[in-house]
């Protein structure tokens, strides 16, 4: 019994330490241990020499050993079916490691929040192409070819066809919508835009905007102000102040830029608000009559307002992101900070 037990211990060590490298190794293992002239058969034969009173215990030991060998062989055999797979000391039938679940990008989180707020006011979501033609991006928006305001936005043109460009603003979607739809129109248009800017903490060659367009009878500047005021309160909280400053955009008349009280310093003055206590978050105005006429909408009957805001800017104020490059570097240490945001 003792001799047998000691022998089996040695074989066990041998078997557990064995790592086949290929299908031939597995077959060699089978022949050596489980073949008709293999070790297990031999040991069974040796049972004859075991005294009768120890036969039971010895049989049990041998059986355990046989099971171990068979189990090992089966896991090797499973592996050798996958041809050249490296065969290690691994049970391949175990479930795999689950992959960690990703998180929403902060810009997606904020875009979603903006959409939800405007949807409550009855705005529908509209989208347009990122590769645009001159007409939808500029012409229809009242920027004729020689208009100096085109220089405000450095445009990427498509090499193969200079009639195409990467849209410089989501205002192009206003054109796409008015081409398809007649008033009443109430849409917001989220999307990516491109400008030929040198990449830095404060500028990037692509970023994201949300455009708004509301055209109907009797739409007034008061509607514009109240809509945007509601948005700010919902987005940034009830204590946030707003102010409108007269501005100029070719597609609106009159035009205004909207500032909110700086959330970073609470209005006391910091680098984000350039020590003014206010930060600009969007451009807006009453849709220019010429823009309406471009889509056969009668400006004597209909009026409208429009606005455009940068999602990165909103995100910066909400989550204090101070470098635009972080949004596209996809560093998981940055991205993982927004898991609880939605
Ligand atoms: N398109 C402008 C920009 O990219 C933003 C803008 C200003 C959009 C005024 C509008 C608007 O709809 O009315 O800078």
More confident residue, 220 or 18: 220
pLDDT tens, residue by residue, 274-288? 999 999 999 999 999
Ligand 1 site, CB within 6 A: 169, 171, 211, 249, 252, 283-285, 306-308
pLDDT above 50: residue 333: yes
Ligand 1 mutation pick, 283, 304, 309, max ligand atoms within 8 A of CB = 283
Look up the pTM and report it: 0.72
- Coil vs helix vs strand at 306: strand
CA of 15 to the centre of ligand 1 (A): 74
Measured from the Cα of 209, ligand 1's closest atom is 4
Q: Report the pLDDT value the prediction gives residue 235, as an integer from 0 to 100.
A: 96
Q: Specify the residue for token string 């490059």.
A: 325
State in Å: Cα 276 to ligand 1 middle: 23
Other C-beta atoms within 10 Å of 43: how many?
19
Instruction: With cut-offs at 50, 70 and 90, classify the pLDDT of residue 78.
Output: confident
Ramachandran category for residue 211: left, alpha or beta (phi over 0 → left; psi -120 to 50 → alpha): beta
Distance 85 CA to ligand 1 centre (A): 58
Categorize the per-residue pLDDT at 85 as very low, low, confident or very high, splitting at 50, 70 and 90. Answer: very low
What does the radius of gyration of the chain's CA atoms come to, in whole angstroms?
36
pLDDT at 295 over 60: yes
Instruction: Give the position, in ligand 1's atom list, of the atom nearest the Cα of 193.
Output: 4
pLDDT above 60 (res 82): no
Check whether 83 has a pLDDT greater than 50: no
Statement: residue 240 has pLDDT above 80 = yes
Considering only the top CATH level, what class is 106-341? alpha beta
**Model pLDDT for residues 29-60, shown as the tens digit of each residue:** 999 999 999 999 999 888 888 888 888 888 88
């Amino acid at each position: 019994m003792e001799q047998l037990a000691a022998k089996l211990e040695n074989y066990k060590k041998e078997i557990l330490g064995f790592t086949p490298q290929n299908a031939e190794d597995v077959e060699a293992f089978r022949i050596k241990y489980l073949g008709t002239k293999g070790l297990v058969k031999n040991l069974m034969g040796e049972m004859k020499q075991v005294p009768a009173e120890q036969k039971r215990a010895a049989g049990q030991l041998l059986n355990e050993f046989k099971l171990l060998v068979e189990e090992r062989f089966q896991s090797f055999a499973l592996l050798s079916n996958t041809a050249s797979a490296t065969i290690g000391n691994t049970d391949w039938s175990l479930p795999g490691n689950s992959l960690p679940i990703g998180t929403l990008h902060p810009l997606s989180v904020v875009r979603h929040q903006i959409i939800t707020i405007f949807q409550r006011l009855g705005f529908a979501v509209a989208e347009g192409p990122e590769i645009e033609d001159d007409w939808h991006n500029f012409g229809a928006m009242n920027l004729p070819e020689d208009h100096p305001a085109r220089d405000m936005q450095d445009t990427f043109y498509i090499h193969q066809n200079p009639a195409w460009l990467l849209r410089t603003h989501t205002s192009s979607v206003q054109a796409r919508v008015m081409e398809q739809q007649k008033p009443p129109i109430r849409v917001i248009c989220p999307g990516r835009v491109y400008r030929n800017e040198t990449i830095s903490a404060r500028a990037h060659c692509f970023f994201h905007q949300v455009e708004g367009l509301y055209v109907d009878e009797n739409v007034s500047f008061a509607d514009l102000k109240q809509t945007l005021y509601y948005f700010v309160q919902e987005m940034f909280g009830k204590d946030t102040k707003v102010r409108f400053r007269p501005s100029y955009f070719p597609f609106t008349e009159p035009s205004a830029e909207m500032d909110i009280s700086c959330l970073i310093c609470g209005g006391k003055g910091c680098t984000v608000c350039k020590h003014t206590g206010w930060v600009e978050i969007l451009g807006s105005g009453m849709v220019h009559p010429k823009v309406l006429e471009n889509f056969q909408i009668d400006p004597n009957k209909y009026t409208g307002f429009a606005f455009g805001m940068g999602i990165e800017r909103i995100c910066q104020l909400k989550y204090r992101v101070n470098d635009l490059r972080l949004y596209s570097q996809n560093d998981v240490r940055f991205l993982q900070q927004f898991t609880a945001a939605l």
